[in-house]
Structure 1
Amino acid sequence: MKKATDIEAYAALDFEASSFTPQSWPIEIGLSWLKNGGVQTWTSLIRPAARWSFSDWSTQSGAVHGIVFEGLLDAPTVSAVVEDLLPLLEGKIPVSDAPEFDRRWLSRLLRASGHAAMPKIEDYHDVSFAQFSGFALDCKRCVQFSDPHDLQLNAQSRLRVCVVLLRVSVQDPHRTRFTCVSR
């Protein structure tokens, strides 16, 4: 490990969106964080804000994420989602494996609920490289997520990887070799 930072200060943030166009809007949000060594997770579908263009809904994106547009109409409102999200983010540093996209979708979500302040989202990979080295970093490189479109699993998996890496680094800080095995 490179430096001792409280890994519980980070929260893995992930969004699913209406499409990949520049006008896309968030349809689901997930947040996972560590508390007392255990992974905590919160997710929510997001009812489209009235000002978001429904023409930017992609049935292909919906199919990939397993979300139908009609299901969003009964989802929590943008304001309700933000009211739940902000206390969970308090004191946390959000990280994302796709910060460019997640910044855009978080910004849309916050603006639609009347919030102007936007927390900085760190790049998950940059944080990992800053926190881990040697064997632990090799372990991280070998982890592949089973479904890149499963929001809850992605957010949880990133933090579980960090927990394992912390344990590996503490148990054998001088180990320098690791072999990735595919099954």
Structure 2
Amino acid sequence: MNLICLDLEASGLGPYSYPIEVAWKGTEEVSDSFLINPDSVPEWTFWDEYAEELHNICRSELREHGISALSACLRLNDALEGRDVLSDAWEFDHFWLTRLFKAAGQKMAFRLVSLREVLSAEELIQYQFVCKAQLRQHRAMDDVDHILQAIRSVRFSD
């Protein structure tokens, strides 16, 4: 089973939020993680201080170490083209990816899929229990590692 899992951190959870960190990893241990500089998209000004407390990423770090929205899209498409990419929070991640690709004038070359497309109903229930037992860091790569670990535990527990 070669799954690729993706996670995003964002400026908040509201309708004006945007992605600030992306990480993905495959079960074959290929991965990538990067910050996105919101200054590359003039309308990306919304900032939720509560979200910053959760992911611990400040705007100055994004400005200093983040890449442009266009670079983020090109990097994701180059690595994930033609692949199904798993998200444990499809509604949020799809919203932020759509916002990212629209801001950069690009089209996603991969398909974001939800856990419901990969796990059975029983596995989904087990997954929820495993995830509640895990301490999540709320950084994208840490979350990806936790998601893959939880999937492995419910898929290969027999």
Structure 1, 93-102 or 137-146: larger mean CA deviation: 137-146
Residue 60 (1) aligns with residue 67 (2): no
Task: Tell me, in whole angstroms, the C-alpha distance in 1 between the residues paired with 2:155 and 2:89.
Answer: 23
- 1:72 is aligned to 2:62: yes
* RMSD value, Cα: 2.3
Whole-Å separation in 2 of the counterparts to 1:57 and 1:138: 34
Contact 1:45–1:72 at 8 Å: present in 2 too?
A: yes
Going from structure 1 to structure 2, the CA distance change for 1:53 and 1:161 (only over 3 Å counts) comes to closer
Q: Which residue of 1 aligns with 2:84?
A: 93
What is the CA distance between 1:27 and its match in structure 2? 0.6
- Unaligned residue ranges in structure 2 (runs of 5+): none
Distance 1:53 1:167 in 2: 42
Structure 2 equivalent of residue 41 of structure 1: 31
**Residue 165 (structure 1) shift:** 4.2
1:103 aligns with 2:90: no
Structure with max Cα Rg: 1
Distance 1:110 1:154 in 2: 22
Q: Number of residues paired by the alignment? A: 154
Alignment of 1:20-31 (within 5 A): 20-31=13-24
TM-score, normalised to structure 2's length? 0.83
| Amino acid across the alignment from 1:95 | L
Residue 162 of structure 1 corresponds to 151
- Work out the CA distance in 2 between the residues paired with 1:78 and 1:124: 26
* Identical residues among aligned pairs (%): 25
1:21-46 Cα offsets, whole Å, 9 max, x none, are: 111110111111122xxx33311110
